[in-house]
């Protein structure tokens, strides 16, 4: 049984002239009450969880009235307050605790002040995340792509690249848990993914591409391979290997002599290459090629990955200062794995430059306690998660081929990042006010104050949790 206790420490009076008077509240930190006669007091989690206060702290009078629509006494009092020429409201400072039946936990902004980073706790958080993804895979294998449980709004848009990445994270989790329900959901999503494959010609040759809305994207092919390759490696089911090879064949057919991937987006109807470039597609592609080589042993994939890595390091990123480098987690994944089969020192050097660029931007002294370990101001969950993923890959390079000091520095960055990420996971204490709390339990939201959840938010956070868990389990087996 869940119990949340909110203790009012201070009530600061403010004068109101109607409910639309522009009252602003620190989202997730401040509660709101009206006069004693009204009997109305709302704590910060309810204000945020019901969409009454926005992520930017704006009070939505319509949402406030809607919250009391089926409670006539409070509705009348709210109407009285709203119609008064002048009324007094109280901004509440609240100290919160959550009891889950076994222990009491202190909360800040609705999340736990401290969270365990032990392997068992990380796996439990990952299980919750995976469960939230499995619940939103439909019968056709598509996901509920984006939903805001504070408003009830579901996005009609979709993104097949993020679909592929999410399948990958689910298979990663299945590798750790062997839960059949998770695999069943992931395999439904795989069937949806492979159904999006179309035939594309390059000259006289035919290849496969993952299409969406009449277009194919380099990253769509790459992340499909990453997902399918992980599924094959974990389950032993290689039925999709021919499709992976056709997807990779198109990537090689459109790769330039200097290693650059020449087509990032293509219109299916006429084969026209669009003037679109993504910073992340090349890194995704390198990882896909390395992972495919691990399955079928075809040296063509490694040769192409080497050419692509050489272009990114020696041409695209040449001469860039740390502050200009892209924090490319996919490239860090790829460089870690490419170096293990093609030992070129520039792969390690460039990986550590990206690491330095990432750690340079981490919020170590943000001034706001729950921002610690994040990136950007205000921070969001997914940019932190992707950097934690990349750092986890780079940690393996440092551990196996560099100094203990560098490995320790990277691990500290991962720990801080994951600690922040866990503050953005929907746990029992943060889903209490949703219409369907169990549905979104375990998902990761946009930020500390934004309640939207999207498949890639949970995907990247899940992969980061598993990355740190693998590091800690390996350290336990071979301590420094």
Residues 407, 314: one domain? yes
Model confidence at 220: pLDDT above 70: yes
* Separation of CA 411 from chain center: 19
pLDDT (0 to 100) of residue 398: 98
> Which of 72-81, 126-135, 277-286 is least confident?
72-81
3-state SS assignment for residue 428: helix
Residues 74, 187: one domain? no
pLDDT tens digits, 321-334 = 999 999 999 999 99
Dist CA 72 CA 188 (whole Å): 46
Dist CA 343 CA 476 (whole Å): 27
Model confidence at 13: pLDDT above 70: yes
* Domain containing residue 215: 115-477
Dist CA 5 CA 435 (whole Å): 20
- For the sheet with 453-454, list strands across it: 153-154, 146-148, 453-454
pLDDT (0 to 100) of residue 21: 66
Q: Which ranges in 340-478 belong to alpha helices (H)?
A: 345-360, 381-401, 404-422, 428-431, 437-440, 455-477
Model confidence at 142: pLDDT above 90: yes
Please identify, among 84, 108, 132, the residue that sits at the C-terminal boundary of a domain.
Answer: 108
Model confidence at 237: pLDDT above 90: yes
Please identify, among 108, 132, 151, the residue that sits at the C-terminal boundary of a domain.
Answer: 108
Dist CA 431 CA 186 (whole Å): 25
pLDDT (0 to 100) of residue 20: 74
Of 54-63, 187-196, 432-441, which has the strongest mean pLDDT? 187-196
Closest by Cα among 213, 206, 280 to 245: 206
**Rounded average pLDDT over 17-28:** 82
Would the CA dihedral through 40, 44, 46, 51 be positive or negative? Answer: positive
pLDDT (0 to 100) of residue 358: 99
Q: Across 109-243, where does the E strand assignment appear?
A: 111-112, 146-148, 153-154, 197-202, 205-212, 215-217
Total domains in the chain come to: 2
Residues 173, 198: one domain? yes
- The percentage of residues in the chain with a pLDDT greater than 70, rounded to a whole number, is 99
**Rounded average pLDDT over 182-190:** 99
**Rounded average pLDDT over 293-300:** 98
Dist CA 440 CA 4 (whole Å): 18
> Which of 12-21, 187-196, 262-271, 435-444 is least confident?
12-21
Residues 67, 209: one domain? no
Question: Is 192:142 a contact under the CB 8 Å cutoff?
Answer: yes
Please identify, among 108, 126, 152, the residue that sits at the C-terminal boundary of a domain.
Answer: 108
Write phi, then psi, for 25 (nearest 5 degrees): -130, 140
pLDDT (0 to 100) of residue 480: 62
**Rounded average pLDDT over 182-195:** 99
| Averaged confidence pLDDT in the chain | 97
Question: Is 27:79 a contact under the CB 8 Å cutoff?
Answer: no
> Which of 18-27, 304-313, 382-391 is least confident?
18-27
Rg (CA), the chain: 25
**Rounded average pLDDT over 391-398:** 99
Residues 202, 306: one domain? yes
Q: CB-side exposure of 254: number of CA atoms within 13 Å?
A: 27
């Amino acid at each position: 049984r869940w119990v949340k206790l909110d203790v009012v420490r201070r009530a600061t009076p403010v004068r109101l002239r109607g409910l639309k008077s522009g009252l602003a509240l620190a989202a997730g930190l401040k509660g709101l009450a009206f006069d004693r006669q009204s009997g109305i007091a709302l704590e910060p989690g309810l204000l945020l969880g019901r969409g009454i206060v926005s992520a930017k702290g704006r009070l939505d009078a319509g949402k406030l009235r809607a919250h009391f629509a089926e409670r006539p006494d409070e509705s009348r009092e709210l109407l009285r307050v709203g119609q008064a020429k002048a009324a007094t409201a109280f901004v509440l400072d609240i100290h919160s605790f959550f009891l889950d039946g076994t222990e009491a936990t202190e909360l800040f902004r609705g999340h736990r002040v401290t969270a365990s980073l032990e392997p068992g706790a990380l796996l439990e958080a990952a299980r919750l995340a995976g469960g939230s993804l499995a619940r939103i895979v439909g019968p056709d294998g598509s996901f509920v792509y984006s939903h805001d449980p504070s408003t009830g709004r579901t996005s009609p848009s979709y993104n097949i690249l993020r679909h592929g990445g999410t399948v990958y994270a689910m298979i990663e989790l299945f590798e750790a848990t062997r839960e059949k329900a998770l695999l069943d959901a992931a395999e439904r999503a795989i069937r949806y993914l492979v159904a999006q494959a179309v035939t594309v010609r390059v000259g006289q040759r035919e290849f496969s591409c993952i299409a969406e809305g009449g277009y194919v994207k380099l990253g769509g092919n790459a992340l499909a391979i990453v997902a399918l390759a992980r599924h094959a490696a974990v389950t032993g089911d290689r039925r999709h290997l021919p499709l992976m090879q056709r997807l990779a064949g198109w990537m090689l057919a459109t790769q330039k002599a200097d290693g650059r991937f020449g087509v990032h987006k293509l219109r299916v109807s006429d084969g026209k290459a669009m003037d679109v470039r993504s910073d992340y597609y090349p890194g995704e592609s390198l990882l896909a090629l390395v992972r495919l080589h691990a399955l079928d042993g075809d040296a063509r994939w490694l040769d192409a990955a080497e050419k692509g890595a050489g272009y990114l390091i020696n041409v695209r990123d040449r001469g860039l200062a740390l502050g200009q480098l892209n924090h490319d987690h996919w490239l860090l994944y790829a460089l870690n794995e490419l170096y293990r089969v093609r030992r070129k020192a520039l792969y390690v050097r460039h990986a550590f430059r990206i690491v330095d660029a990432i750690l340079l931007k981490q919020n170590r002294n943000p001034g706001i306690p729950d921002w610690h370990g994040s990136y950007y101001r205000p921070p969001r969950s997914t940019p932190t998660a992707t950097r934690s993923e990349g750092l986890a890959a780079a940690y393996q390079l440092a551990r196996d081929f560099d100094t203990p000091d560098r490995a320790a520095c990277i691990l500290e960055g991962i720990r801080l990042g994951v600690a922040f990420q866990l503050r953005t996971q929907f746990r029992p204490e943060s889903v209490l006010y949703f219409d369907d709390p169990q549905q979104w339990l375990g998902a990761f939201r946009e930020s500390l104050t934004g309640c939207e959840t999207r498949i890639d938010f949970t995907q990247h956070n899940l992969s980061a949790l598993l990355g740190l868990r693998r590091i800690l389990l390996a350290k336990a087996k071979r301590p420094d």
